């Protein structure tokens, strides 16, 4: 039971959004009708947002398999602005990314979430699967901490006129945040390293000690880290 002051259950919606951000193979597209029903029945998203997601699902349903799959690869695997690997937006190729991956992966394992072979912990669909296991209030807080990354990807997808922007808009709505698309910066060459602050800083390598225990995730903005470092140096 939820009250007016508590978030609505959103586990099914998060799993549907995670699936929609996955590779649009035949298996995924065969479940689009079921996914549409889950979003409607849970009612965590507004009607207008569900209409946008319906448009994406209709596009995927009507597209030829090869066209849907090649469009997905071109959209999400050709640069950092639309990357679904969240550490790309925070660590880039810096050496901080490896330890962060290990820490997040251990958190998943302790929570009982086993990644598919070859799947990286910072892959947004995997992150959403993990968040879907949390109570609604904590799930909303986790999403809120990632809102600045969601807005960055949202802006990049809107710039490309992609229907996938509706998924990021839905995540921002579940987070209780306003969708404010960030204009993508000019991307540096992919072979150049660039560093940003730690994301998911609260993910302990200890993960969850027991079922039901909430594992906090903290996303740290660059401005906050810079201020802290400046204060420590003075």
Cβ neighbors of 144 (< 8 A, separation 6 or more) are: 175, 176, 177
Question: Which pLDDT value is given to residue 179?
Answer: 87
Write b or e for each residue in 113-136: b if 16 or more Cβ atoms lie within 10 A of its Cβ, otherwise e: beeeeeeebbbbbbbbbbbbbbeb
Question: Which pLDDT value is given to residue 226?
Answer: 45
pTM over the 0.95 mark:
no
When pLDDT is averaged across residues 56-78 and rounded to a whole number, the result is 95
In whole angstroms, give the CA distance from residue 197 to residue 228.
Answer: 11
In whole angstroms, give the CA distance from residue 218 to residue 131.
Answer: 13
- Give 146-186 pLDDT, tens digit per residue: 999 999 999 999 999 999 999 999 999 999 998 887 776 65
- Give 2-14 pLDDT, tens digit per residue: 455 677 899 999 9
In whole angstroms, give the CA distance from residue 209 to residue 107.
Answer: 10
**Residue 132 clears pLDDT 80, i.e. is over it:** yes
- Which has the higher per-residue pLDDT, 231 or 126? 126
Question: Which pLDDT value is given to residue 111?
Answer: 79
* Bridge partners of residue 123, in order along the sequence: 85
- Give 27-55 pLDDT, tens digit per residue: 999 999 999 999 999 999 999 999 999 99
Q: Write a three-state SS string for the chain.
A: CCCCCCCCCCHHHHHHHHHHCCCCCHHHHCCHHHHHHHHHHHCCCCHHHHHHHHHHHHHHHHCCHHHHHHHHHHHHCCCCCCCCEHHHHCCCCCCCHHHHHHHHHHHHHHCCCCCCCCCCCCEHHHHHHHHCCCCHHHHHHHHHHCHHHHHHHHHHHHHCCCCCHHHHHHHHHHCCCCCCCCCCCCCCCCCCCCCCCCCCCCCCCCCCCCCCCCCCCCCCCHHHHHHHHHHHHC
Question: Which pLDDT value is given to residue 191?
Answer: 46
- Which has the higher per-residue pLDDT, 26 or 196? 26
**Residue 68 clears pLDDT 60, i.e. is over it:** yes
* Token pair listed for 194: 């660039």
**Residue 233 clears pLDDT 70, i.e. is over it:** no
- Give 76-124 pLDDT, tens digit per residue: 998 889 999 988 887 566 566 778 778 888 888 887 888 878 788 889 9
When pLDDT is averaged across residues 50-79 and rounded to a whole number, the result is 95
In whole angstroms, give the CA distance from residue 148 to residue 182.
Answer: 9
Q: How confident is the model at residue 18 (pLDDT cuts 50, 70, 90)?
A: very high
- Give 113-127 pLDDT, tens digit per residue: 888 787 888 899 999
């Amino acid at each position: 039971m939820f009250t007016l002051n508590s978030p609505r259950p959103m586990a099914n919606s998060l799993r549907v959004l995670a699936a929609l951000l996955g590779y649009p193979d035949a298996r995924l597209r065969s479940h689009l009708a079921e996914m549409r029903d889950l979003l409607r029945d849970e009612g965590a998203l507004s009607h207008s947002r569900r209409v946008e997601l319906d448009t994406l699902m209709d596009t995927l349903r009507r597209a030829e398999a090869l066209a849907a799959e090649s469009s997905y690869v071109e959209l999400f695997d050709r640069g950092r602005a639309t990357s679904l690997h969240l550490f790309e937006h925070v660590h880039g190729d810096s050496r901080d990314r490896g330890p962060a991956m290990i820490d997040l992966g251990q958190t998943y394992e302790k929570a009982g979430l086993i990644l598919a072979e070859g799947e990286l912990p910072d892959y947004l669909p995997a992150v959403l699967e993990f968040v879907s296991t949390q109570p609604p209030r904590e799930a909303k807080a986790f999403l809120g901490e990632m809102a600045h990354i969601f807005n960055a990807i949202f802006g990049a997808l809107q710039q490309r006129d992609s229907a996938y922007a509706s998924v990021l808009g839905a995540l921002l709505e579940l987070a209780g945040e306003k969708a404010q698309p960030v204009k993508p910066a000019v991307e540096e060459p992919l072979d150049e390293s660039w560093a940003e602050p730690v994301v998911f800083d609260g993910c302990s390598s200890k993960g969850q000690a027991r079922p039901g225990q909430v594992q906090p995730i903290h996303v740290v903005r660059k401005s906050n880290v810079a201020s802290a470092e400046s204060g420590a140096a003075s």
